[in-house]
């Protein structure tokens, strides 16, 4: 489970079989004090993919900067790029999401 803010609008697609897909990323931040007593903030970016009804909800309600809680699982894909190099990509497959915060002011 992660709580973070969207870095951009979700990219949504309707697949040939009628299912929806959405890709988006969220940033999570953590702060702590280092040895010198200075506050340090670290931000991590996470790539996410959603399918079906969750993808439809993401496409309809998620916007850049919106805070969201997601639940999902890590998946690593192996592939060969166009130059023949082996690559891997890790992303979170979203099982559920929850919008956090109130409605934006109009």
Cα 40 from Cα 53, distance rounded (Å): 38
What would the DSSP string read from start to end of 27-70?
A: EEEEEEE-TTS-EEEEEEEEEEEEEHHHHHHHHHH--TT-EEEE
- pLDDT tens digits, 32-44: 999 999 999 999 9
Q: Which residues of 21-42 are buried (b: 16+ CB within 10 A; e: fewer)?
A: bbbbbbeeeeeeeeeeeeeeee
- pLDDT tens digits, 73-82: 999 999 999 9
2-31+39-99: CATH topology is: OB fold (Dihydrolipoamide Acetyltransferase, E2P) (2.40.50)
- pLDDT tens digits, 58-74: 999 999 999 999 999 99
Per-residue model confidence (pLDDT) at position 102: 60
- The answer to whether residue 96 scores a pLDDT higher than 50 is yes
Per-domain boundaries in the chain: 2-31+39-99
The reply to whether the predicted model has a pTM over 0.75 is: yes
Q: How far is CA 6 from the centre of its chain?
A: 7
């Amino acid at each position: 489970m992660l709580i973070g803010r969207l870095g951009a609008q979700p990219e949504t697609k309707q697949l040939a079989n009628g299912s929806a897909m959405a890709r988006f990323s969220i940033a999570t931040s953590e702060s702590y004090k280092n040895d010198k007593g200075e506050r340090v903030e670290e931000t991590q970016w996470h790539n996410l993919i959603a399918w079906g009804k969750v993808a439809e909800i993401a496409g309809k309600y998620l916007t850049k900067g919106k805070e969201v809680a997601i639940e999902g699982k890590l998946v690593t894909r192996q592939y060969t790029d166009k130059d023949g190099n082996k690559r891997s990509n890790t992303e979170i497959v979203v099982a559920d999401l929850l919008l956090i915060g109130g409605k934006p002011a109009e």
